[in-house]
């Protein structure tokens, strides 16, 4: 590991006292590797090929396990099919927190700083039926990664936006939950990311704290009275953690939410507010901080029609497309330059309003593209959990064939009368091929293809 900044070392010694030595020793050990299964696609982590070795459960997330080492995930077709997500274990504590806070009724949740998608995919799987998750990322390149990961996760209760946090002020009181995994100094990533050590400076700590306050101030209005803010970082710096929470409470519109935490090693934060810290010498994971606050004032959301909305939904589904949808009556369609986006009917009006004030990159499931009378199936439909693929239209590939498909290479045809073949691996959809009889056209997205050499 690169030499740690002396000012950081001195602060940690003060924060941890006699435990500081164990902390620094932990930073010299390999980072744990953990994955979280997709409950909509895989029944158990240990049924995945990637977990053939010994696994250990992640205590605070029943869907997750630690692996013995770090395999080449790129060469596992199930990774590309969204059967699981590779996520740092400490951040999966969100699962334990949401299980305590989510009601049984539908909610709207905004994940404000969502890329690359770990917390969004986790939350999307836990939300009550009928809920909506808006996953936002302001940086365009990171928003593209977020979109890809949510498409592969395969749920339709999600919208991806690429907007500044201030854009959500127009949706005053619209969200029941606001997740802010705030951009931070990244001290908790020192073990995994040596670049974060080189970028560390005391001036950057101040800039991060100021940015976090701005993000929260800009987005606070979109949380309804009684709504919940879950704030987290991957840093050890109190100025970006406890002091931010205390600043919000001092503003008079927030109160701490007591949370139950039965897991040894997760430490209470140095604050009167209920918050938790993860240190690598105490838990198998990286540095992490989390707190939950309840908003005590503000205005409730008033639904209104906005003439600036980019697209209006309708419910006419082409007959050919209905055959691929398990419950077509539950969806509205947003047509966008020939692309048919399927969104839950119950959330269609809100998504339309959302598109007036934010840059919506993706919503629900982009199922197909129409060109005159022709219908072209799109990759997200193959990865969607609502897909009802015809039995005679499935190409369940072996591993070499699946990897060839994911490299966007030609794969051998199979006897089938179906126009479109769903290429799958162990029952997990990967993408589409157009059946031309004597050959197949590979429709896997060029930007997603495997680029590494496969021996």
State pLDDT tens for residues 436-453: 989 999 999 999 999 998
Furthest C-alpha separation in the chain: 72
Which tokens hold the place of 149?
A: 């990961």
Is the model's pLDDT at 382 over the cut of 80? yes
Which contiguous run of DSSP H or E holds residue 357? helix 348-357
**Cβ distance 307 to 330 under 8 Å?**
no
Can you say how many angstroms the Cα of residue 283 is from the centroid of all Cα atoms in its chain?
23
Please state which architecture CATH assigns to domain 390-455.
Roll (3.10)
**Cβ distance 133 to 111 under 8 Å?**
yes
Give the pLDDT of residue 252.
93
Reported as a single tens digit per residue, the pLDDT across 245-278 is 999 999 999 999 999 999 999 999 999 999 999 9
3-state secondary structure of 363: strand
| Confidence grade of residue 397 (pLDDT, cut at 50, 70, 90) | very high
Give the pLDDT of residue 392.
82
- Work out the end-to-end distance of the chain between its first and last CA atoms, rounded to an integer number of angstroms: 31
Is the model's pLDDT at 307 over the cut of 70? no
| Confidence grade of residue 129 (pLDDT, cut at 50, 70, 90) | very high
Reported as a single tens digit per residue, the pLDDT across 8-61 is 999 999 999 999 999 999 999 999 999 999 999 977 777 787 877 789 999 999
Better-predicted residue by pLDDT, 288 or 43: 288
Can you say how many angstroms the Cα of residue 31 is from the centroid of all Cα atoms in its chain?
21
pTM of the model: 0.95
Give the pLDDT of residue 428.
94
Give the pLDDT of residue 316.
72
Half-sphere exposure of 118 (CA within 13 A, CB side): 17
Is the model's pLDDT at 312 over the cut of 90? no
| Confidence grade of residue 318 (pLDDT, cut at 50, 70, 90) | confident
Q: Which residues of 374-398 are buried (b: 16+ CB within 10 A; e: fewer)?
A: ebebbbbbbbbbbbebeeebbbebe
306-322: average pLDDT: 68
3-state secondary structure of 192: coil
Give the pLDDT of residue 181.
98
- Please tell me which residue in 234, 274, 365, 433 is annotated as part of the active site: 234
Residue 411: count of CB within 10 angstroms of its CB: 20
Give the pLDDT of residue 1.
58
CA 72-76-80 angle, to 5 degrees, is 115
Measured CA distances, 53 to 11, 171, 232, 247, 337 (Å) = 39, 48, 32, 46, 47
Q: Which CATH number fits domain 97-295: 3.40.47.10, 3.40.50.150, 1.10.287.130, 1.10.3720.10?
A: 3.40.50.150
Is the model's pLDDT at 309 over the cut of 60? no
Would strands 267-268 and 288-295 be described as parallel, antiparallel, or unpaired? unpaired
- The answer to whether 261 is a known catalytic residue is no
412-435: average pLDDT: 94
Among 368, 429, 342, which residue's Cα sits nearest to residue 393? 429
């Amino acid at each position: 590991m690169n030499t740690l900044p002396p000012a950081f070392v001195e602060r940690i010694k003060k924060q941890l006292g006699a435990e500081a030595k164990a902390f620094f020793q932990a930073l010299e050990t390999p980072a744990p590797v953990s994955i979280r299964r997709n409950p909509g696609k895989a029944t158990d982590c240990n049924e995945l090929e990637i977990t053939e070795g010994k696994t250990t459960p992640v205590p605070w997330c029943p869907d997750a396990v630690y692996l013995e080492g770090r395999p080449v995930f790129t060469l596992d077709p199930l990774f590309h099919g969204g059967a699981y997500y590779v996520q740092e274990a400490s951040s999966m504590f969100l699962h334990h927190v949401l299980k305590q806070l989510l009601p049984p009724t539908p909610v709207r949740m905004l994940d404000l700083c969502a890329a690359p998608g770990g917390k969004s995919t986790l939350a999307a799987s836990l939300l009550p039926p009928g809920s909506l998750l808006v996953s936002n990322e302001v940086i365009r390149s990171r928003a593209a990664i977020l979109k890809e990961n949510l498409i592969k996760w395969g749920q339709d209760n999600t919208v991806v936006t690429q907007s500044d946090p201030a854009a959500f002020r127009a949706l005053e009181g619209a969200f029941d939950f606001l997740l802010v995994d705030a951009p931070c100094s990244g001290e908790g990533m020192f073990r995994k990311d040596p670049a974060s050590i080189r970028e560390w400076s005391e001036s950057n700590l101040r800039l991060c704290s100021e940015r976090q306050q701005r993000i929260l101030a800009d987005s606070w209005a979109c949380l309804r009275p009684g709504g919940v803010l879950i704030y987290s970082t991957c840093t050890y710096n109190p100025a970006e953690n406890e002091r931010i929470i205390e600043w919000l409470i001092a503003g008079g519109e927030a109160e701490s939410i007591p949370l139950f935490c039965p897991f040894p090693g997760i430490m209470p934060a140095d604050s009167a507010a209920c918050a938790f810290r993860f240190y690598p010498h105490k838990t198998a994971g990286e540095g992490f901080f989390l707190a939950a606050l309840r908003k005590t004032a503000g205005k409730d959301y008033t639904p209104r029609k906005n003439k600036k909305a980019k697209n209006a939904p309708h419910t006419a589904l082409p007959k050919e497309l209905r055959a691929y949808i398990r419950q077509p009556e539950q969806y509205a369609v947003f047509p966008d330059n020939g692309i048919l986006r399927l969104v839950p009917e119950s959330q269609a009006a809100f998504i339309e309003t959302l598109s007036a004030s934010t840059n919506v990159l993706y919503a629900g499931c982009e199922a197909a593209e129409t060109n005159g009378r022709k219908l072209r199936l799109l990759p997200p439909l193959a990865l969607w959990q609502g897909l009802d693929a015809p039995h005679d239209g499935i190409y369940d590939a072996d591993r070499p064939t699946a990897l060839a498909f994911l490299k966007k290479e030609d794969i051998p045809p199979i006897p089938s009368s179906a126009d479109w073949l769903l290429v799958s691996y162990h029952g997990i959809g990967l993408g589409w091929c157009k059946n031309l009889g004597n050959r197949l056209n590979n429709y896997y997205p060029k930007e997603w293809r495997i680029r590494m050499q496969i021996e």
